[in-house]
Protein backbone atom coordinates (compact mmCIF):
# COMPACT_ATOMS: atom_id res chain seq x y z
CA UNK A 1 0.00 0.00 0.00
CA UNK A 2 1.19 3.49 -0.68
CA UNK A 3 2.04 6.01 2.00
CA UNK A 4 1.27 9.72 1.82
CA UNK A 5 4.72 10.87 0.96
CA UNK A 6 5.45 8.11 -1.55
CA UNK A 7 5.70 9.03 -5.22
CA UNK A 8 2.71 7.72 -7.15
CA UNK A 9 3.74 6.71 -10.68
CA UNK A 10 1.05 6.67 -13.37
CA UNK A 11 1.19 2.86 -13.30
CA UNK A 12 3.16 0.06 -11.72
CA UNK A 13 3.12 -3.67 -11.17
CA UNK A 14 1.95 -5.46 -8.03
CA UNK A 15 4.33 -8.35 -7.35
CA UNK A 16 3.69 -10.47 -4.27
CA UNK A 17 5.63 -13.21 -2.49
CA UNK A 18 3.90 -16.02 -4.35
CA UNK A 19 4.83 -14.41 -7.69
CA UNK A 20 8.45 -14.36 -6.57
CA UNK A 21 8.18 -17.98 -5.41
CA UNK A 22 6.75 -19.00 -8.80
CA UNK A 23 9.65 -17.40 -10.67
CA UNK A 24 12.19 -18.81 -8.19
CA UNK A 25 10.83 -22.31 -8.79
CA UNK A 26 11.54 -21.92 -12.50
CA UNK A 27 15.04 -20.62 -11.81
CA UNK A 28 15.71 -23.70 -9.66
CA UNK A 29 14.19 -26.06 -12.24
CA UNK A 30 15.30 -27.60 -15.52
CA UNK A 31 13.74 -25.21 -18.01
CA UNK A 32 14.33 -21.50 -18.32
CA UNK A 33 12.57 -21.34 -21.66
CA UNK A 34 10.35 -23.51 -23.88
CA UNK A 35 9.51 -25.66 -20.89
CA UNK A 36 6.26 -26.58 -19.11
CA UNK A 37 5.35 -23.11 -17.81
CA UNK A 38 4.65 -21.90 -21.36
CA UNK A 39 1.80 -24.30 -22.23
CA UNK A 40 0.45 -23.98 -18.69
CA UNK A 41 0.24 -20.21 -19.05
CA UNK A 42 -1.29 -20.57 -22.52
CA UNK A 43 -3.97 -22.95 -21.20
CA UNK A 44 -4.79 -20.62 -18.30
CA UNK A 45 -4.99 -17.60 -20.59
CA UNK A 46 -7.21 -19.45 -23.06
CA UNK A 47 -9.52 -20.44 -20.21
CA UNK A 48 -9.60 -16.89 -18.79
CA UNK A 49 -10.38 -15.28 -22.15
CA UNK A 50 -12.64 -18.13 -23.33
CA UNK A 51 -10.48 -18.39 -26.44
CA UNK A 52 -9.96 -21.88 -27.86
CA UNK A 53 -6.25 -21.12 -28.40
CA UNK A 54 -3.65 -18.88 -26.79
CA UNK A 55 -0.04 -18.57 -27.93
CA UNK A 56 2.37 -16.83 -25.53
CA UNK A 57 5.10 -14.64 -26.97
CA UNK A 58 7.78 -12.13 -26.10
CA UNK A 59 5.68 -8.97 -25.83
CA UNK A 60 2.58 -7.25 -27.18
CA UNK A 61 4.40 -5.82 -30.18
CA UNK A 62 5.49 -9.34 -31.17
CA UNK A 63 1.88 -10.49 -30.66
CA UNK A 64 0.60 -7.89 -33.13
CA UNK A 65 3.39 -8.72 -35.59
CA UNK A 66 2.63 -12.45 -35.30
CA UNK A 67 -1.06 -11.74 -35.91
CA UNK A 68 -0.23 -9.78 -39.06
CA UNK A 69 2.06 -12.60 -40.25
CA UNK A 70 -0.49 -15.30 -39.49
CA UNK A 71 -3.14 -13.47 -41.54
CA UNK A 72 -0.70 -13.25 -44.43
CA UNK A 73 -0.78 -9.46 -44.60
CA UNK A 74 1.96 -7.97 -46.72
CA UNK A 75 3.01 -5.47 -49.35
CA UNK A 76 0.07 -4.17 -51.38
CA UNK A 77 -2.31 -4.57 -48.43
CA UNK A 78 -3.55 -1.86 -46.12
CA UNK A 79 -4.65 -2.05 -42.50
CA UNK A 80 -6.94 0.37 -40.66
CA UNK A 81 -5.44 1.40 -37.31
CA UNK A 82 -6.97 3.98 -34.96
CA UNK A 83 -4.43 6.75 -34.54
CA UNK A 84 -4.84 7.01 -30.75
CA UNK A 85 -2.80 3.99 -29.75
CA UNK A 86 0.75 2.98 -28.96
CA UNK A 87 3.16 2.94 -31.91
CA UNK A 88 3.17 -0.87 -31.98
CA UNK A 89 -0.35 -1.24 -33.43
CA UNK A 90 0.55 0.62 -36.61
CA UNK A 91 4.13 -0.60 -36.71
CA UNK A 92 2.96 -4.23 -36.81
CA UNK A 93 1.34 -3.53 -40.18
CA UNK A 94 4.54 -1.91 -41.45
CA UNK A 95 6.68 -4.83 -40.18
CA UNK A 96 4.99 -7.05 -42.79
CA UNK A 97 5.14 -4.38 -45.50
CA UNK A 98 1.45 -3.42 -45.35
CA UNK A 99 0.38 0.23 -45.40
CA UNK A 100 -1.51 1.89 -42.56
CA UNK A 101 -4.78 3.77 -43.02
CA UNK A 102 -5.10 5.80 -39.83
CA UNK A 103 -8.66 6.05 -38.52
CA UNK A 104 -10.03 8.81 -36.36
CA UNK A 105 -11.47 8.09 -32.90
CA UNK A 106 -14.30 9.25 -30.71
CA UNK A 107 -13.06 12.52 -29.11
CA UNK A 108 -14.35 11.60 -25.64
CA UNK A 109 -13.42 7.90 -25.36
CA UNK A 110 -10.45 7.71 -27.75
CA UNK A 111 -12.00 4.59 -29.29
CA UNK A 112 -12.40 3.55 -32.89
CA UNK A 113 -16.12 3.65 -33.77
CA UNK A 114 -18.19 2.34 -36.66
CA UNK A 115 -18.38 5.91 -38.00
CA UNK A 116 -14.62 6.55 -37.83
CA UNK A 117 -13.95 3.12 -39.33
CA UNK A 118 -16.37 3.82 -42.20
CA UNK A 119 -14.59 7.09 -42.92
CA UNK A 120 -11.19 5.34 -42.93
CA UNK A 121 -12.43 2.53 -45.19
CA UNK A 122 -13.60 5.17 -47.68
CA UNK A 123 -10.12 6.75 -47.67
CA UNK A 124 -8.17 3.78 -48.98
CA UNK A 125 -6.40 5.65 -51.81
CA UNK A 126 -6.78 2.67 -54.10
CA UNK A 127 -5.04 0.21 -51.77
CA UNK A 128 -6.83 -2.94 -50.77
CA UNK A 129 -7.77 -2.70 -47.10
CA UNK A 130 -7.46 -6.25 -45.83
CA UNK A 131 -7.60 -5.82 -42.07
CA UNK A 132 -8.72 -3.65 -39.18
CA UNK A 133 -6.85 -3.49 -35.86
CA UNK A 134 -9.32 -2.00 -33.31
CA UNK A 135 -7.70 -0.91 -30.04
CA UNK A 136 -9.46 -1.39 -26.69
CA UNK A 137 -8.02 1.82 -25.24
CA UNK A 138 -7.61 2.24 -21.46
CA UNK A 139 -9.32 -1.13 -20.89
CA UNK A 140 -12.57 -0.20 -22.56
CA UNK A 141 -13.61 -2.29 -25.55
CA UNK A 142 -14.64 -0.81 -28.87
CA UNK A 143 -18.15 -1.63 -30.08
CA UNK A 144 -16.90 -4.82 -31.70
CA UNK A 145 -20.25 -6.01 -33.08
CA UNK A 146 -20.72 -2.80 -35.08
CA UNK A 147 -17.09 -2.57 -36.11
CA UNK A 148 -17.00 -6.21 -37.19
CA UNK A 149 -20.21 -5.89 -39.21
CA UNK A 150 -18.69 -3.03 -41.15
CA UNK A 151 -15.26 -4.62 -41.48
CA UNK A 152 -16.74 -7.90 -42.73
CA UNK A 153 -18.80 -6.09 -45.37
CA UNK A 154 -15.55 -4.51 -46.55
CA UNK A 155 -13.89 -7.96 -46.70
CA UNK A 156 -11.50 -7.22 -43.83
CA UNK A 157 -9.96 -9.52 -41.23
CA UNK A 158 -9.88 -8.23 -37.65
CA UNK A 159 -7.10 -8.26 -35.06
CA UNK A 160 -8.09 -6.79 -31.71
CA UNK A 161 -5.31 -4.88 -30.01
CA UNK A 162 -6.29 -6.11 -26.55
CA UNK A 163 -3.05 -4.98 -24.88
CA UNK A 164 -5.02 -2.75 -22.48
CA UNK A 165 -8.01 -4.99 -21.94
CA UNK A 166 -7.31 -8.42 -20.45
CA UNK A 167 -10.52 -9.51 -18.71
CA UNK A 168 -12.77 -6.84 -20.21
CA UNK A 169 -16.28 -8.03 -21.16
CA UNK A 170 -18.75 -6.38 -23.48
CA UNK A 171 -22.00 -6.80 -25.37
CA UNK A 172 -24.34 -8.30 -22.80
CA UNK A 173 -24.53 -9.65 -19.30
CA UNK A 174 -23.42 -12.92 -17.72
CA UNK A 175 -22.86 -15.72 -20.18
CA UNK A 176 -24.07 -13.60 -23.10
CA UNK A 177 -21.21 -11.15 -22.68
CA UNK A 178 -18.20 -11.50 -24.93
CA UNK A 179 -14.74 -11.45 -23.41
CA UNK A 180 -11.96 -9.50 -25.04
CA UNK A 181 -9.73 -12.16 -26.53
CA UNK A 182 -12.37 -14.81 -27.15
CA UNK A 183 -12.42 -13.54 -30.73
CA UNK A 184 -16.21 -13.48 -31.12
CA UNK A 185 -15.78 -10.64 -33.61
CA UNK A 186 -12.16 -11.08 -34.68
CA UNK A 187 -9.71 -13.58 -36.15
CA UNK A 188 -7.08 -12.85 -33.51
CA UNK A 189 -6.46 -10.76 -30.41
CA UNK A 190 -3.09 -9.49 -29.19
CA UNK A 191 -2.23 -8.99 -25.50
CA UNK A 192 0.64 -7.33 -23.68
CA UNK A 193 1.79 -8.26 -20.20
CA UNK A 194 4.32 -5.45 -19.93
CA UNK A 195 5.07 -4.41 -16.36
CA UNK A 196 2.42 -1.68 -16.21
CA UNK A 197 -0.45 -3.76 -17.62
CA UNK A 198 -3.20 -5.37 -15.50
CA UNK A 199 -1.00 -8.43 -15.06
CA UNK A 200 2.77 -8.23 -15.39
CA UNK A 201 5.31 -10.57 -16.93
CA UNK A 202 8.05 -7.93 -17.15
CA UNK A 203 7.83 -8.18 -20.90
CA UNK A 204 5.31 -10.62 -22.30
CA UNK A 205 2.49 -11.06 -24.74
CA UNK A 206 0.07 -13.49 -26.31
CA UNK A 207 -2.17 -14.02 -29.30
CA UNK A 208 -5.56 -15.66 -28.88
CA UNK A 209 -7.49 -17.34 -31.68
CA UNK A 210 -10.50 -19.47 -32.53
CA UNK A 211 -9.17 -21.03 -35.70
CA UNK A 212 -6.61 -23.82 -35.02
CA UNK A 213 -4.85 -23.17 -38.33
CA UNK A 214 -4.30 -19.52 -37.45
CA UNK A 215 -3.10 -20.44 -33.95
CA UNK A 216 -0.67 -22.90 -35.51
CA UNK A 217 0.69 -20.20 -37.83
CA UNK A 218 1.16 -17.80 -34.91
CA UNK A 219 3.05 -20.48 -32.98
CA UNK A 220 5.17 -21.31 -36.03
CA UNK A 221 6.15 -17.69 -36.78
CA UNK A 222 6.98 -17.30 -33.08
CA UNK A 223 9.88 -19.72 -33.55
CA UNK A 224 11.55 -18.96 -36.88
CA UNK A 225 8.76 -20.47 -38.96
CA UNK A 226 10.09 -23.95 -38.17
CA UNK A 227 8.10 -27.17 -38.60
CA UNK A 228 9.25 -30.58 -37.47
CA UNK A 229 6.75 -33.03 -38.83
CA UNK A 230 3.47 -33.49 -40.65
CA UNK A 231 2.30 -32.54 -44.09
CA UNK A 232 4.26 -29.27 -44.15
CA UNK A 233 7.54 -31.16 -44.59
CA UNK A 234 8.70 -30.73 -48.20
CA UNK A 235 11.94 -32.75 -48.24
CA UNK A 236 10.55 -36.12 -47.22
CA UNK A 237 13.81 -37.89 -48.08
CA UNK A 238 15.75 -35.69 -45.62
CA UNK A 239 13.03 -35.90 -42.99
CA UNK A 240 12.87 -39.68 -42.86
CA UNK A 241 15.33 -42.52 -42.37
CA UNK A 242 15.48 -45.45 -44.81
CA UNK A 243 13.01 -47.39 -42.69
CA UNK A 244 10.48 -44.53 -42.94
CA UNK A 245 10.87 -43.34 -39.34
CA UNK A 246 11.19 -39.58 -38.71
CA UNK A 247 14.75 -38.25 -38.33
CA UNK A 248 14.70 -36.85 -34.79
CA UNK A 249 16.84 -33.76 -35.50
CA UNK A 250 15.04 -32.71 -38.62
CA UNK A 251 13.23 -29.42 -39.09
CA UNK A 252 12.26 -27.27 -42.04
CA UNK A 253 11.41 -23.61 -42.55
CA UNK A 254 8.66 -23.28 -45.17
CA UNK A 255 8.18 -19.57 -44.34
CA UNK A 256 10.48 -17.21 -42.48
CA UNK A 257 9.69 -16.42 -38.83
CA UNK A 258 11.24 -14.84 -35.75
CA UNK A 259 12.36 -15.63 -32.23
CA UNK A 260 9.36 -14.21 -30.40
CA UNK A 261 9.19 -16.95 -27.76
CA UNK A 262 8.16 -16.28 -24.15
CA UNK A 263 10.40 -17.81 -21.49
CA UNK A 264 9.33 -20.09 -18.65
CA UNK A 265 10.41 -17.31 -16.29
CA UNK A 266 7.94 -14.93 -17.91
CA UNK A 267 5.17 -17.51 -18.10
CA UNK A 268 5.53 -18.60 -14.46
CA UNK A 269 5.07 -14.98 -13.44
CA UNK A 270 2.19 -14.64 -15.89
CA UNK A 271 0.45 -17.72 -14.48
CA UNK A 272 0.79 -16.49 -10.93
CA UNK A 273 -0.45 -13.01 -11.85
CA UNK A 274 -3.32 -14.27 -14.01
CA UNK A 275 -4.76 -16.10 -10.99
CA UNK A 276 -5.09 -12.67 -9.32
CA UNK A 277 -6.67 -10.86 -12.24
CA UNK A 278 -10.13 -10.74 -10.65
CA UNK A 279 -8.74 -9.26 -7.44
CA UNK A 280 -6.64 -6.73 -9.37
CA UNK A 281 -9.66 -5.86 -11.54
CA UNK A 282 -11.85 -5.26 -8.48
CA UNK A 283 -9.19 -3.01 -6.93
CA UNK A 284 -9.03 -1.05 -10.19
CA UNK A 285 -12.83 -0.77 -10.32
CA UNK A 286 -12.91 0.58 -6.76
CA UNK A 287 -10.22 3.10 -7.64
CA UNK A 288 -12.22 4.27 -10.64
CA UNK A 289 -15.22 4.85 -8.36
CA UNK A 290 -13.04 6.75 -5.86
CA UNK A 291 -11.53 8.90 -8.62
CA UNK A 292 -14.92 9.58 -10.21
CA UNK A 293 -16.33 10.79 -6.90
CA UNK A 294 -13.26 12.83 -5.95
CA UNK A 295 -13.02 14.50 -9.36
CA UNK A 296 -16.73 15.25 -9.75
CA UNK A 297 -16.40 18.75 -8.21
CA UNK A 298 -13.88 19.64 -10.94
CA UNK A 299 -16.39 19.10 -13.77
CA UNK A 300 -16.62 20.34 -16.44
CA UNK A 301 -12.96 21.36 -16.32
CA UNK A 302 -11.95 17.75 -15.66
CA UNK A 303 -14.05 14.83 -16.82
CA UNK A 304 -13.39 11.11 -16.94
CA UNK A 305 -13.25 9.71 -20.46
CA UNK A 306 -16.63 8.72 -21.91
CA UNK A 307 -17.74 5.27 -20.77
CA UNK A 308 -19.36 2.78 -23.11
CA UNK A 309 -22.65 1.47 -21.79
CA UNK A 310 -22.33 -2.17 -22.82
CA UNK A 311 -18.76 -2.67 -21.60
CA UNK A 312 -17.52 -4.02 -18.27
CA UNK A 313 -13.87 -3.01 -18.43
CA UNK A 314 -10.89 -4.23 -16.52
CA UNK A 315 -9.39 -0.76 -16.48
CA UNK A 316 -5.77 -0.42 -17.53
CA UNK A 317 -5.47 3.36 -17.15
CA UNK A 318 -7.47 6.09 -15.48
CA UNK A 319 -7.56 8.81 -18.11
CA UNK A 320 -9.29 12.15 -17.68
CA UNK A 321 -10.04 14.87 -20.20
CA UNK A 322 -8.95 18.31 -19.05
CA UNK A 323 -9.92 21.61 -20.63
CA UNK A 324 -6.45 23.10 -20.28
CA UNK A 325 -7.41 26.28 -22.12
CA UNK A 326 -10.21 27.02 -19.71
CA UNK A 327 -7.94 26.12 -16.78
CA UNK A 328 -5.38 28.67 -17.95
CA UNK A 329 -2.54 26.17 -17.57
CA UNK A 330 -1.05 23.98 -20.25
CA UNK A 331 -0.61 20.23 -19.85
CA UNK A 332 3.15 20.34 -19.29
CA UNK A 333 2.67 22.86 -16.47
CA UNK A 334 -0.04 20.75 -14.86
CA UNK A 335 2.12 17.62 -15.14
CA UNK A 336 5.07 19.48 -13.60
CA UNK A 337 2.95 20.79 -10.73
CA UNK A 338 1.65 17.28 -10.06
CA UNK A 339 5.17 15.83 -10.18
CA UNK A 340 6.21 18.43 -7.59
CA UNK A 341 3.48 16.97 -5.37
CA UNK A 342 4.77 13.43 -5.89
CA UNK A 343 2.30 12.45 -8.58
CA UNK A 344 3.29 10.90 -11.90
CA UNK A 345 1.09 11.30 -14.96
CA UNK A 346 1.36 10.31 -18.60
CA UNK A 347 -0.24 11.04 -21.96
CA UNK A 348 -1.74 8.08 -23.85
CA UNK A 349 -1.07 8.72 -26.70
CA UNK A 350 0.43 11.10 -29.22
CA UNK A 351 -1.70 10.21 -32.28
CA UNK A 352 0.54 7.88 -34.25
CA UNK A 353 -0.11 9.57 -37.62
CA UNK A 354 1.77 12.59 -36.24
CA UNK A 355 5.03 10.63 -35.92
CA UNK A 356 7.68 11.84 -38.38
CA UNK A 357 7.96 8.38 -39.92
CA UNK A 358 4.25 8.26 -40.73
CA UNK A 359 4.00 11.93 -41.74
CA UNK A 360 6.75 11.36 -44.28
CA UNK A 361 4.87 8.32 -45.57
CA UNK A 362 1.28 9.54 -45.58
CA UNK A 363 1.47 13.34 -45.22
CA UNK A 364 -0.59 15.43 -42.83
CA UNK A 365 -3.94 13.87 -42.04
CA UNK A 366 -6.97 15.63 -40.60
CA UNK A 367 -8.27 13.44 -37.75
CA UNK A 368 -10.16 15.91 -35.55
CA UNK A 369 -11.54 13.42 -33.01
CA UNK A 370 -8.00 12.26 -32.22
CA UNK A 371 -6.82 15.87 -31.98
CA UNK A 372 -9.56 16.64 -29.45
CA UNK A 373 -8.82 13.55 -27.41
CA UNK A 374 -5.06 14.14 -27.45
CA UNK A 375 -5.40 17.82 -26.53
CA UNK A 376 -7.23 16.96 -23.32
CA UNK A 377 -6.16 13.51 -22.12
CA UNK A 378 -4.07 12.84 -19.05
CA UNK A 379 -3.54 9.48 -17.33
CA UNK A 380 -3.52 9.77 -13.54
CA UNK A 381 -1.81 7.25 -11.23
CA UNK A 382 -3.64 3.96 -11.44
CA UNK A 383 -2.51 0.57 -10.18
CA UNK A 384 -3.88 -2.21 -8.03
CA UNK A 385 -1.74 -1.38 -4.98
CA UNK A 386 -3.07 2.19 -4.80
CA UNK A 387 -5.56 3.06 -2.08
CA UNK A 388 -8.72 5.10 -2.42
CA UNK A 389 -7.00 7.71 -0.21
CA UNK A 390 -4.25 7.87 -2.82
CA UNK A 391 -6.89 8.60 -5.48
CA UNK A 392 -8.34 11.37 -3.31
CA UNK A 393 -4.86 12.79 -2.79
CA UNK A 394 -4.32 12.85 -6.57
CA UNK A 395 -7.69 14.55 -7.12
CA UNK A 396 -6.84 17.24 -4.55
CA UNK A 397 -3.42 17.76 -6.11
CA UNK A 398 -4.98 18.04 -9.56
CA UNK A 399 -7.42 20.66 -8.24
CA UNK A 400 -4.47 22.60 -6.85
CA UNK A 401 -2.45 22.19 -10.06
CA UNK A 402 -5.38 23.64 -11.98
CA UNK A 403 -5.77 26.49 -9.48
CA UNK A 404 -9.16 25.17 -8.37
CA UNK A 405 -8.34 24.06 -4.84
CA UNK A 406 -9.77 27.17 -3.13
CA UNK A 407 -12.85 27.05 -5.33
CA UNK A 408 -13.30 23.35 -4.46
CA UNK A 409 -13.09 24.07 -0.74
CA UNK A 410 -15.61 26.92 -1.00
Q: By the criterion CB under 6 A, which residues form the site for ligand PLP?
A: 59-61, 85-86, 88-89, 135, 161, 163-164, 192, 194, 205
142 versus 395: smaller Cβ distance to ligand PLP: 142
Is 197 annotated in the active site?
Answer: yes
The alpha-helical segments, DSSP class H, found in 29-86 are 37-49, 60-70
Least distance in Å: CB of 126 to ligand PLP?
28
| Contact between 191 and 166 (Cβ < 8 Å) | yes
Least distance in Å: CB of 249 to ligand PLP?
33
159 versus 327: smaller Cβ distance to ligand PLP: 159
Orientation of helix 277-295 relative to helix 264-274, angle to 10°:
60
d(CA 162, CA 48): 14
Secondary structure class of 259 (helix, strand, coil): strand
- 50, 157, 197, 354: the catalytic one is 197
135 versus 144: smaller Cβ distance to ligand PLP: 135
The residue at minimum Cβ distance from ligand PLP is 60
166 versus 302: smaller Cβ distance to ligand PLP: 166
d(CA 386, CA 284): 9
Is it true that the peptide bond before 300 is cis, omega within 30 degrees of 0? yes
Least distance in Å: CB of 235 to ligand PLP?
36
161 versus 264: smaller Cβ distance to ligand PLP: 161
Q: Where are the beta strands (DSSP E) in 133-278?
A: 157-161, 169-170, 178-179, 188-192, 205-209
Cα of 178 vs its chain's centroid, Å: 17
Least distance in Å: CB of 328 to ligand PLP?
32
All residues at 6 or more sequence positions from 397 whose CB lies less than 8 Å from its CB, including other chains? 337, 338, 341, 343
Least distance in Å: CB of 87 to ligand PLP?
8
Active site residues: 197
Amino acid sequence: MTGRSEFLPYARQLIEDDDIAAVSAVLRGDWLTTGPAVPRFEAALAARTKAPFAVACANGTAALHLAALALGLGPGDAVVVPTVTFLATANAARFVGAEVVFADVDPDSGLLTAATLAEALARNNGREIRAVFPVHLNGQSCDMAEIAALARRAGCKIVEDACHALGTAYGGRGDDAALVGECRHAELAAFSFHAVKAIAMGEGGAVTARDPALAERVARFRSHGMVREGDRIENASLARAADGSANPWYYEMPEIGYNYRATDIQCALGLSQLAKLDRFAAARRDLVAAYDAALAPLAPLVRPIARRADCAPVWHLYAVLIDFERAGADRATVMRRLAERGIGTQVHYIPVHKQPYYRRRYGDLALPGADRYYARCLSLPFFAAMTQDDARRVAAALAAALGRDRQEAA
